Amino acid sequence: MEKLAKMDAVSIAIASIGRPSLADTLRSLAKVTTSQAAAVSVVVADDSPDGAATRLVESLDLDGLPVTCLAVASGNISTARNALLDAVAGDWIVFVDDDEWVEPDWLERLFVCQREYAADVVIGPVHPAYPDDAPEWLVRANLLHHDWGHRGKRLMTGRGGNTLARMDLIRGLGLRFDPALGVTGGEDTAFFAQAASNGAVIVVCDDAMAHEHVPPERLKPSYILRRAVRSGQSYAIARRADNPGFAWRGLFALDAAAKCAAAAFLALVFMPFDRAAHFRMRHKLALNYGKLRAVFGLPLAELYRRAD
């Protein structure tokens, strides 16, 4: 099967509850350039209860960018993302969150990386834009940025923001976002882990830049640590699906427990003199605690809410 992108038809897919940041997302997409002829359009799954995302889209002048709005109103991000999958008829889908904005050469760089590695899925970086009054130590810790590794690194999972994927792969595997994870989070981790376990080539891209707004509520250490627990747990659940044996589970738990102990020790070491390093260690502790929660089958905490 030919895997080299021709950019014949590209759908940029956004699940939104109508947050004001969606306006910045769409304005940035209207400025995206490509060096090839391509049919680029946007599909917005309006998951607000009152059509807020659709009203926001209709209020914008987007310089001819085609935008289609889907009424979903489910309160479940998996349901919204599945509606996007159903609406895309073309060759490629690019997931973008409604609190992100992209650079003008963003789409072209995703496809350059896709061609370079003959990839099925390409994961680009998302850089947090912290408010001016964010604590200096928290910005320095920068734990809202996920570093996926070097360019071309092969991944066994992915995420639902700044991500390019082949639609024929998704259709061929019958991939869907799990509605049971649509209010807890982790639905994108499970989705792309399933793709990888079925042979999909998922790689890291280092230069297709997206940025995201960081609202005040996401600056709270409690939120950052809760998200870390959820991320570790989601990752472990995805790994466990491909490794159901007790031996693997025991070794995985021992590794996570050892990392918990090391992170707790280093957190104590850094606490008196480096708050950023101290919090980074607490974050690693939370990630590995989440892995242990998965091993013991504990439930995921809710992360997505209508008020977020």
Say whether both 107 and 193 belong to one domain.
Answer: yes
Q: What is the DSSP string of 161-230?
A: SSEEEEHHHHHHHT----GGGTTTS-HHHHHHHHHHHTT--EEE-SSS-EEEE--GGGGSHHHHHHHHHH
**Which residues contact residue 200 at a Cβ distance below 8 angstroms, ignoring those fewer than 6 apart?**
120, 121, 169, 173, 192
Domain count along the chain = 2
What the block records as the tokens of 108 is 């072209």
Tally Cβ neighbours within 10 Å of residue 68.
12
- Per the CB < 8 A criterion, the answer to whether 37 and 13 are in contact is no
* Residue 70 is assigned to a structural domain of this protein: yes
| Domain's final residue, options 219, 252, 279 | 219
* Residue 290 is assigned to a structural domain of this protein: yes
- Specify the pLDDT at position 184: 80
Amino acid at 180: A
Say whether both 213 and 232 belong to one domain.
Answer: no
| Domain's final residue, options 190, 219, 248 | 219
What the block records as the tokens of 135 is 């604590």
* Residue 201 is assigned to a structural domain of this protein: yes
- Per the CB < 8 A criterion, the answer to whether 208 and 126 are in contact is no
| Domain's final residue, options 189, 219, 249 | 219
- Specify the pLDDT at position 64: 85
In 3D space, the residue among 289, 287, 268 whose CA is nearest the CA of residue 277 turns out to be 268
- Specify the pLDDT at position 185: 82
Q: Residue 217 to residues 131, 134, 187, 212, 220: CA-CA distances in angstroms?
A: 11, 11, 22, 14, 6
Which range of residues forms the domain containing residue 257? 222-295
Say whether both 146 and 54 belong to one domain.
Answer: yes
CATH of the domain at 133: 3.90.550.10
The overall longest dimension of the chain from CA atoms, in Å, is 57
Residue 168, CB-side half-sphere exposure with 13 Å CA sphere: 10
Q: Name the pTM for this structure.
A: 0.89
Each residue's pLDDT expressed in tens, for the chain with a length of 308 residues: 334 445 578 999 999 999 999 999 999 999 998 766 568 999 999 999 999 999 999 999 998 899 999 999 999 999 999 999 999 988 999 999 999 999 999 999 999 999 999 999 999 999 999 999 999 999 999 999 988 999 999 999 999 999 999 999 999 999 999 998 888 888 999 999 999 999 999 999 999 999 999 998 899 999 999 999 999 998 898 888 777 788 889 999 999 999 999 999 999 999 999 999 999 999 999 999 999 999 988 887 666 544 44
Q: Residue 59 to residues 53, 73, 262: CA-CA distances in angstroms?
A: 10, 20, 52
- Specify the pLDDT at position 307: 40
Q: Residue 281 to residues 115, 232, 303: CA-CA distances in angstroms?
A: 37, 14, 22
- Specify the pLDDT at position 7: 54
Say whether both 72 and 210 belong to one domain.
Answer: yes
Say whether both 103 and 56 belong to one domain.
Answer: yes
- Specify the pLDDT at position 303: 60
- Specify the pLDDT at position 302: 60
In this predicted model, what pLDDT tens digit does every residue of 74-131 receive, in sequence order? 999 999 999 999 999 889 999 999 999 999 999 999 999 999 999 999 999 999 999 9
